[in-house]
Amino acid sequence: MSDTQSVRGKRGESPQANRARWEERYKGGDLPWDNNRVVPFLARLVRTGVFQPPGPVLDLGCGPGNDARYLGKKGFDVTAVDLSAAALGIAATRLKRAGVLGRVRLVQANILELVRADVGAFMYGHDRGCFHCLAPRRRRLYPSVLHRLLRKGALFSLWTMGLDADREGGPYQIPAEEIRELFSTGFEVVSQIVSSGGSRSNEGGCPTCLCTLFRCS
């Protein structure tokens, strides 16, 4: 995979270069994470009443908006944020087609720079596949930024790829313990499970994924 195709933020890469890399990726159309479906982890949280409408929900790194669309259809008010204008263009088309564009606010922004806009605004947070793309230095900033955006008691669902010794490239492989450690200030872990994907359910096209639910304290 070439540098422009990589999803990993790189050490020392400027925010502008990072954004340009994501734009290239969306314009190139090689989007293995885009299965046009909601991620099962989130669907389960909604089905079992853990996440209850109307939210509001913050979808971090929403990409083509498949989870935001699902949440909108279920009656949630969603703010869906992504760096890439091209990704948000795809999301807007799908949301419009599904009749839920009015429920989902699409915002082009770096999630690590959101604090001023929406402090304490959200009852739920959700991240499918964005956190594990952040370079380690940026990854460390994420919990404190998110904490300021969520209300006390808010829930945050984090979907990351599981550890896979055979995998080369792709997102960073972040062990479960490291995730717990990174979020140890301001969050408590409600549950953390390793889930098998499988090609049909396509939990991100990987053999396993790690699903962590946090409560904001």
Ligand X SMILES: C[S@@+](CC[C@H](N)C(=O)[O-])C[C@H]1O[C@@H](n2cnc3c(N)ncnc32)[C@H](O)[C@@H]1O
Tell me, what amino acid is at 25? Answer: R
What's the min distance (Å) between Cβ of 16 and ligand X? Answer: 12
105-134 residues in contact with ligand X (CB under 6 A) are 110-112, 128-130, 133
Q: How far is the CB of 120 from ligand X (least distance, A)?
A: 20
Cβ proximity of 159 and 128 under 8 Å? yes
To ligand X, the closest distance from the beta carbon of 43 in angstroms equals 13
Paired with 215 in beta bridges are: 155, 188
User: Nearest 5°: phi and psi at 70?
Assistant: -60, -45
Contact between 61 and ligand X per CB under 6 A: yes
Q: Which residues contact 197 (CB under 8 A, 6 or more apart)?
A: 203, 204, 205, 206, 207, 208, 209
Q: Which stretch binds ligand X (CB under 6 A): 43-51, 61-69, 193-201, 206-214?
A: 61-69
Contact (CB, 8 A) for 44 and 170:
no
Is residue 203 a contact residue for ligand X (CB under 6 A)? no
- How big is the chain, counted in residues? 217
| Nearer residue to ligand X within complex by CB, 153 or 199 | 199
Site for ligand X in 70-109 (CB under 6 A): 81-84, 87
Residues that bind ligand X (CB under 6 A): 7, 22, 33-34, 61-64, 66, 81-84, 87, 110-112, 128-130, 133
